[in-house]
Amino acid sequence: MRFIGVVFLIAALFAGFIFSLPEPEGFPILEYHTVTNNPLPESEIYNVPPAEFSAQLDYLQENGYTTITLNDFIKARRYGKPLPPKPIILTFDDGYADNYTEMLPILEAHGMTAVIFVITNELGKPGYLTLDQLKDLQKRGIEIGSHSADHLPLVTLNAEFLDNQIRKSKIFLEWNGLDPIGSFSYPNGIYNIEIIEMLKEQNYLAAVTGEAGLNTLKSDPYKLRRVNIRKPRFGIFEFRWRLLKANIFERLKNL
Ligand SMILES: [Zn+2]
């Protein structure tokens, strides 16, 4: 009993210490994949069922968050266009069809926006978004970004293959009638300096990684951090915990 008391006291002192540190400035970028009641076996670990997703957006709304796009972030960074008080970016990797059929209606019911990163060679295949859906998403204010052409580990590719994945995935979308593509999501979150240089040459303005944490206007726009949202096992508490965890890490980093 005494032992449990000591553990509890230490935990309480630690929590007190963490929350006495200044509130971190950064804002979260959430990383989602699919939002459906019928996920494919390979995407099940990433899937957030629609009812849970809706509850997460309710939570963000009740807590004063405003969704923005990466394009808004870039405009704020480059031209000083002000951001709302508690900005947050919702990102969706891989370009699954349910982002249009199931996620979008919930997003719009909350008056929110998002960024969807597509694998261009998967477009139109069963389970994936089509070009027409992407055009409609852009019309509705959703930002479309590239998640490469084939979702290969980019750091293992030679220059020619890298060009296919980075430059050609962007021009494929633009030549098929989409508005300019400004953002990129590294497949599996992995990147190196050559890949960043190629993104800059090809006029990508921002890129998101798989690294955990928050972002500020001073963050390197090609190394943006994310908060990974996986299949929830403990409902909204898990979602709140993931946001809180990013906040705690950021406080500790500022020590
Ligand atoms: Zn991916």
User: Rounded to 5 degrees, what angle do the CA atoms 83, 91, 164 make?
Assistant: 115
Going from the Cα of 32 to the center of ligand 1, the distance in angstroms, rounded, reads 10
Q: What is the CATH number of the domain that holds 195?
A: 3.20.20.370
Q: Is 207 helix (H, G, I), strand (E, B) or coil?
A: strand
In 58-131, DSSP assigns E strands to: 66-67, 87-94, 115-118
Which range of residues forms the domain containing residue 194? 26-253
In order of 74, 96, 128, 151, the CA distances from 147 in angstroms are 18, 12, 13, 7
Does residue 9 belong to any structural domain of this protein?
no
Residue 40: what pLDDT? 86
Say how many Å lie between the CA of residue 51 and the centre of ligand 1. 23
Look at the chain and count its residues.
255
* pLDDT for residue 19: 63
Residue (of 29, 37, 32) closest to 65 by Cα position? 29
User: Ligand 1 centroid vs 233 CA: distance in angstroms?
Assistant: 22
pLDDT for the residue numbered 8:
79
pLDDT at 190: 92
- Residue in 216, 176, 170, 175 with CA at minimum distance from that of residue 25: 216
On whether residue 10 sits in a domain, the answer given is no
Is-contact 86 66, C-beta < 8 A? yes
Say if 38 falls within a structural domain.
yes
What does the pLDDT read at residue 251?
78
Q: Locate 98 and state its tokens.
A: 């349910």
Beta strands in 186-246 (DSSP E): 206-212, 224-228
How many A from CA of 114 to the centre of ligand 1?
16
* Total of domains in the chain: 1
CA of 22 to the centre of ligand 1 (A): 34
Q: How far is the CA of 33 from the centre of ligand 1 (A)?
A: 8
Q: Give me the residues of the chain with pLDDT under 50, please.
A: none
Is residue 169 in a domain? yes
Give the distance (Å) from ligand 1 centre to CA of residue 185: 8
- Classify residue 17: in a domain, yes or no: no
- The verdict on residue 201 lying in a domain is yes
**Residue 155 alpha carbon to ligand 1 centre in Å:** 15
